[in-house]
Structure 1
């Protein structure tokens, strides 16, 4: 039952954790002010909102805030605070983001100015690719993603301090993909934790334009908590860690914060198809189904009709930057050597077009992996 004591306990006693929360809030507030100044202040989403720490800040700047957490106790506490403050423009919901369709999701699909998944939330979702694609689909073109993770390159994973007085509330167990959270001496729990590394950074870069990646804190994460209780030491190490946070050559802080935006020219394939059907006065029916991230998923959802499905793969020439579209039966794999022969080019001069390259063509969005399988 962490919710009633969460705001009072988390990050209050452990100074490195507290400083990360402050640092993250500073970066998010700067982004919110930028969006406000640019007139992008209609809809914001807070995933893993807890008791609403960021949601209440966002509510002062956005017309509507949708906030979700899988914990009923956290949402109860957030709603209690909302009622006490008489705030009308936040909708708090109990939802498990990874395994459920969100309540009111259709209201903000493709319309969001900002999606926030803070305080390491990005590490608590096992399927990172699915998470990022959902965020992408919620955002309007030019909308921003603000997300944080626990860092696989944290210096704390390579150094073992001799003291037990950690300045961090949560301790990473890299071998077991978990995080031990010590909220109070009597309130401890373990949760799944997927660390940020190139395996996550790559997919972010493929579909978003990344504005910044920073890690924080590095030095304070190594120090005993009682040392940081000294006012002079505390101030000095905050300055040092903030300097290191933006240093791209040494991304070794405990947490990672990524700020990125959806390419402004991005379009929705679904919207394009719907518009064409309406222009033709065609009769059609929309069938709801679970997200499909591979051809195997499509076959499972669609059934026997899958044999009729043709997938479109885009090939790009590295030197000329020209694109070639290849249409292939869904169950077949593409032979890149054969494509190179047909095009009369060297095999190593062509590759499957990346998502970001496809989006720049202003076409219907098709994801594919390096085997040529449409996603």
Structure 2
């Protein structure tokens, strides 16, 4: 592989530590991702054939350091390329669902349909949300764990000498994170657009010795909480991308936060490696993204979302008077592997650690930003 090494390839650091392995893996994925470009394929079949042959040769060389037979490696990746090609040749299909946008819809109509779908979806899944969401989507489970860890680190660091105060969980669903915040804050509020989710959150909370408050509220209309009342505001699991009026909401967050108060926001990442890949399998995520319109498909329901780049998010946040302190993106590798490849606690933990090391590369599904007022 030494004759194939590119100038920007990660350099050895004395031993094969996890950070180095993670960097090498991302470098290889980027390199192989750029080998076959769908637009180039459509324009020039000869270029495509040359690129595929070149890619397969590189796959064979990747096997050598690990004593894997080159022909075996070549056959695996050849099958992947062929299946990806076959999927791209299938006639276009619309995801089934109760209501889907079409080319004739106005922006207002699209927003109305997607909002109706969101409410219909929450009615459908509220009672089973805690038990089922992410159950068969390993990458989604990993996102939940990663964000919970980051929020825990943020609160431990920022409120170590001054525990208590008030916290708001925006888009709280059934209150999983809201209940966790009760360990650190004496006054916790969970906000969600869905009456069914809020009702389920209240039911689950009544079984425990904690008393957060839950409120039905449309975040596109801003926050109803008093000015300078919250020490912490969180919005996890990409919820910030579900908000149509994100600039208005960020201004509202600034109003509600106390001076020195902290925030944690999670967005869909437009630069995620997943969106550059041509995968022949379904990613291990609960939702899939539609390229035609800004929406996610969750259990056949299309709901509004928008992917953002880091610079866009930073511009919005600073315009609202907030200051970002830390950026992360997660997961990168887990999002492009088939769910079966993440089976088993040992492998899952290894991929989780690798994605933690890659979180500063900003190529994961979600962009997480924390900061202060």
Question: Which category describes the TM-score, using the shorter chain as reference length?
Answer: 0.5 to 0.7
Q: Residues 223-250 of structure 1, C-alpha deviation per residue, up to 9 Å, x if partnerless?
A: 00011013443222112111000x2xx2
Q: How does 1:181-260 map to 2 (within 5 A)?
A: 181-182=298-299, 188-197=300-309, 198-206=311-319, 207-245=321-359, 247=360, 250-260=361-371
Residue in structure 2 matched with residue 169 of structure 1 by the alignment: 286
Counterparts of 1:132 and 1:99, CA distance in 2: 11
Instruction: Pick from 225, 237, 254 the counterpart of residue 136 of structure 1.
Output: 254
Instruction: Pick from 169, 173, 183 the counterpart of residue 60 of structure 1.
Output: 183
Contact 1:14 1:167 in 2 (8 A): yes
How many residues are matched?
A: 248
Residue in structure 2 matched with residue 98 of structure 1 by the alignment: 220
Q: What SS does structure 1 have at the residue aligned with 2:152?
A: helix
* Long gaps (5+) in structure 1: 183-187, 263-375
Counterparts of 1:83 and 1:232, CA distance in 2: 36
Counterparts of 1:140 and 1:40, CA distance in 2: 14
Of structures 1 and 2, the one with the larger relative CO (CA 8 A, separation 6+) is 2
Counterparts of 1:160 and 1:61, CA distance in 2: 43
Please state how far the C-alpha of 1:100 moved relative to its aligned partner: 6.1
Q: Residues 74-127 of structure 1, C-alpha deviation per residue, up to 9 Å, x if partnerless?
A: 111100011111322x1101111213653xx23xx2121100111111101112
Change (3 A) 1:40 1:134: farther
Counterparts of 1:192 and 1:124, CA distance in 2: 6
Given the alignment of the two structures, is residue 179 of structure 1 paired with residue 296 of structure 2, yes or no?
A: yes
Q: What SS does structure 2 have at the residue aligned with 1:110?
A: coil
Please state how far the C-alpha of 1:32 moved relative to its aligned partner: 1.8
TM-score, with length taken from structure 1 = 0.64
Counterparts of 2:329 and 2:176, CA distance in 1: 21
Structure in which a larger fraction of residues adopt helix: 2
Counterparts of 1:138 and 1:178, CA distance in 2: 28
Counterparts of 2:257 and 2:222, CA distance in 1: 19
Please state how far the C-alpha of 1:34 moved relative to its aligned partner: 2.3
Contact 1:128 1:200 in 2 (8 A): no
Please state how far the C-alpha of 1:53 moved relative to its aligned partner: 0.9
Q: Residues 335-366 of structure 1, C-alpha deviation per residue, up to 9 Å, x if partnerless?
A: xxxxxxxxxxxxxxxxxxxxxxxxxxxxxxxx
Contact 2:170 2:191 in 1 (8 A): yes
Residue in structure 1 matched with residue 116 of structure 2 by the alignment: none
Q: What SS does structure 1 have at the residue aligned with 2:354?
A: helix
Contact 1:214 1:251 in 2 (8 A): yes
